[in-house]
Structure 1
Amino acid sequence: MTTELVSEKIIETDHLTKIYQNRQIALNDVTLTIEKGWILGLLGPNGAGKTTFLRLVLGLHRPTAGTVRVFGQPMTPNAAMLRRRIGYIPTNPKFPPGMTPITYLDYIARLFGLPSSIRKPRLASLIRAVDLLRHSGEPIANFSVGMNARLAVAASLINKPDLLIWDEPTHGLDIEARRGMLELIKTLADDKTIILSSHNLSDVDEVCNHAAVLSQGQLIFSDSLQELKGRIRKNHYELDLDGEQKAITKVMTQLKTIGDFKLVNLRGRRLELRLSDDASNTGLLGQLFQMLHDSKVSLISIRSVGQQTEQAFLDLVEKEESRGFIRLYDQSEAA
């Protein structure tokens, strides 16, 4: 007998809405499911509702309408047992300046009710893991942005959570500190479910396997990261070529006679192409490859211009904003 693998729903929101002071609609009718093992990149422009969504999931705010379930249970401001299973890092975390990493982590562990026999070795292990051992007895007031970020990571892991919710964890970090944070996320992803809210789309591209995109409080995309990339406009390419310059120039001249090539630009042996939005990229690139073959020009490399996740995100938000009035009209007709 075979058994089917049943997915475990970690977070479920149903028509989740938050309106502040009857004036600001921060989140509008968001229905989203996040399953066990996902590393979800939560994306959206400033003011899109990302932080509001995270605070509702954590039970720090009450929804105006709709519901949030975490680990299969309703999340409310009084659901302390659910929050014990969550590790949270807010944007730009702040700590009591007079404390040290040891005293702060010990304090957080006490709040979780951990006995001394558990919390002492655990905080020592975390301080070592986030590379703060040399600074474990120093006042937090003297810490850099990167050191604060590492302490925040340790604090979010002190309760051995099943779910991590990190809001802009690489914000303000230098290149080395950011690299260390991303490597840590990859390690934690082996046995944690993670929500990573980030403006840095290259971070999301590197560590996430799913994405949710908010725009003006509405959820406009939720699926695998690969599916998000699949929505990219595949119309801008760069090709590195090898062959006689005269032959390469001849190919460029031929391409300019084809109407669906909106941009054909040659710099040495690098050819830049932009196709019309509704053109078949496979058909046009097939014509190009045949021309290169006939002209005895070799293709060294071809690549889409721009970072894929970033371009797909920008395309998605742009299309959503452009159809805002159309969507409103469709909804009024349906009503």
Structure 2
Amino acid sequence: MADRNADLVVETAHLTKIYQNRQIALNDATLTIEAGAVLGLLGPNGAGKTTFLRLILGLHRPTAGWAKVFGRAMNPNAADLRRRIGYIPTNPQFPKGMTPIVYLDYIGRLFGMPRDARKPKLASLIRAVDLLPHSGEPIAYFTPGMTARLAVAASLINEPDLLIWDEPTHGLDIEARRSMLELIKTLAAQKTLILSSHNLTDVDEVCNHAAVLNKGQLIFHGSLQDLKGRIRKNHYELDLEGDQKSITKALALLRAMKEVLSALLRHRRLDLKLTDDVANTAVLAQVFQTLFDNKVTLVSVRSVGMQTEQAYLDLVEREESRGFTRLYTPAEAA
């Protein structure tokens, strides 16, 4: 157990934040984040995501519970711990009159970096985030994509071990978002990351762990695969190619299989539902063999209802439907 704890980058226990004795922003959140994890922090607006991140950063004091970063208690006075973290808030703002060179030099000085280390570092970061042609331009004229890339550079200048990025793709166009996701993938090989995001497709692409907050409550924490696996429905879509007579014959054979709940064909796209208790690998092998025997080509196959978005929505819906009964049952009251 001691060895495992040594690998924890973030650890929280019963972390709770109540603002002005009126708003419960976070309630009893307990989780761990191991080194090398890329955690997607999910939840609707007002779920407590930003509050959770600010508590991890020591920007707020918890009302109850605690947070540890790199094995040490985090609080507003733990500046030495924050030096090991790279943070990007939602919609980062920069001094409009500064240029990227001036701003990054300023941030490096705040971290106490000597000039001979600061200058090469900021130059390499400006190149890495593709701002070299704009390095001497005022930030006031930057596009949202350029501003996002400058935020990335600023979060990396102290060579942090942990990156905490709050909605890093928010407001970006398709090209800028793609560039940001590729950068995250590169950094994921070297750093531990916590990414808060509303874009569940982004989380699906770059994260390997997930934490789901809803109304201040942590309702899931685990691997992304575990999150998806919670709602496995044995539901698939298959795109087919072949003459209509062959497809019709194959369809009749599939419908006759006892493991097949339904097989509906729409414009050569087969919607296939299997019974929940079957081993899907064996049944799909039979399905593929049936298509092959009838000279039907399988163009593509994909699971339905196993993506992060579906899993997340299902989880939140079930949690809200449980409501008060989650905490109070007749058995407990007796």
Residue 160 (1) aligns with residue 173 (2): no
Structure 1 Cα separation of the partners of residues 135 and 83 of structure 2: 25
Give the stretch that moved more between structures: 228-237 or 282-291. 282-291
Judged with a 3 Å threshold, the aligned counterparts in structure 2 of structure 1 residues 143 and 301 are, in CA distance, closer, same or farther, namely closer
Q: 1:70 corresponds to which residue?
A: 69
Structure 2 Cα separation of the partners of residues 28 and 131 of structure 1: 41
Q: 2:302 corresponds to which residue?
A: 303
Q: 2:211 corresponds to which residue?
A: 212
Structure 2 Cα separation of the partners of residues 128 and 255 of structure 1: 56
Task: Note the C-alpha offset of 1:233.
Answer: 2.9
Q: 1:33 corresponds to which residue?
A: 32
Q: 1:80 corresponds to which residue?
A: 79
Structure 2 Cα separation of the partners of residues 323 and 253 of structure 1: 41
Task: Note the C-alpha offset of 1:265.
Answer: 2.8
Structure 1 Cα separation of the partners of residues 258 and 89 of structure 2: 50
SS at 1:97's partner residue? coil
Judged with a 3 Å threshold, the aligned counterparts in structure 2 of structure 1 residues 21 and 274 are, in CA distance, closer, same or farther, namely farther
The 8 Å contact of residues 13 and 67 in structure 1, kept in 2 or not, is answered as: yes
Q: 2:231 corresponds to which residue?
A: 232
Give the stretch that moved more between structures: 183-192 or 153-162. 183-192
SS at 2:181's partner residue? helix
Give the stretch that moved more between structures: 81-90 or 288-297. 288-297
SS at 2:93's partner residue? coil
Q: 1:327 corresponds to which residue?
A: 326
Task: Note the C-alpha offset of 1:273.
Answer: 3.0
Residue 97 (1) aligns with residue 96 (2): yes
Judged with a 3 Å threshold, the aligned counterparts in structure 2 of structure 1 residues 269 and 72 are, in CA distance, closer, same or farther, namely same
Task: Note the C-alpha offset of 1:172.
Answer: 1.2
Q: Partner letter of residue 65 of structure 1?
A: A
Judged with a 3 Å threshold, the aligned counterparts in structure 2 of structure 1 residues 150 and 298 are, in CA distance, closer, same or farther, namely closer
Task: Note the C-alpha offset of 1:249.
Answer: 2.8
Which residues in structure 2 correspond to 1:157-196 (within 5 Å)? 157-196=156-195
Q: Partner letter of residue 184 of structure 2?
A: I
Q: Partner letter of residue 11 of structure 1?
A: V
Q: Partner letter of residue 193 of structure 1?
A: T
How many equivalent residue pairs? 331
Which residues in structure 2 correspond to 1:255-270 (within 5 Å)? 264-270=263-269
Q: 2:270 corresponds to which residue?
A: 271
The 8 Å contact of residues 17 and 64 in structure 2, kept in 1 or not, is answered as: yes
Q: Partner letter of residue 58 of structure 2?
A: G
Residue 133 (1) aligns with residue 139 (2): no
The 8 Å contact of residues 232 and 308 in structure 1, kept in 2 or not, is answered as: no
Task: Note the C-alpha offset of 1:157.
Answer: 0.8
CA deviations on 1:38-69 (whole Å, 9 max, x unpaired) are 11111112211111100000011111110011
Which residues in structure 2 correspond to 1:274-293 (within 5 Å)? 274=273, 278=276, 280=278, 282=280, 292=291
Normalising by structure 2, we get a TM-score of: 0.89
Give the stretch that moved more between structures: 241-250 or 56-65. 241-250
Residue 45 (1) aligns with residue 44 (2): yes
CA deviations on 1:94-120 (whole Å, 9 max, x unpaired) are 011111111111111111111212111
What root-mean-square deviation, in Å, do the aligned CA atoms of Structure 1 and Structure 2 show?
A: 2.7
Which residues in structure 2 correspond to 1:194-205 (within 5 Å)? 194-205=193-204
Q: 2:116 corresponds to which residue?
A: 117
The 8 Å contact of residues 234 and 281 in structure 1, kept in 2 or not, is answered as: no
Q: Partner letter of residue 102 of structure 1?
A: I
SS at 2:327's partner residue? helix
Q: 1:57 corresponds to which residue?
A: 56
SS at 2:328's partner residue? helix
Structure 2 Cα separation of the partners of residues 216 and 76 of structure 1: 24
Judged with a 3 Å threshold, the aligned counterparts in structure 2 of structure 1 residues 177 and 237 are, in CA distance, closer, same or farther, namely same
Normalising by structure 1, we get a TM-score of: 0.89
Task: Note the C-alpha offset of 1:279.
Answer: 5.5
SS at 1:329's partner residue? coil
* Uncovered stretches (5+) of structure 2, i.e. residues with no partner: none
Structure 1 Cα separation of the partners of residues 27 and 333 of structure 2: 18
The 8 Å contact of residues 305 and 311 in structure 2, kept in 1 or not, is answered as: no
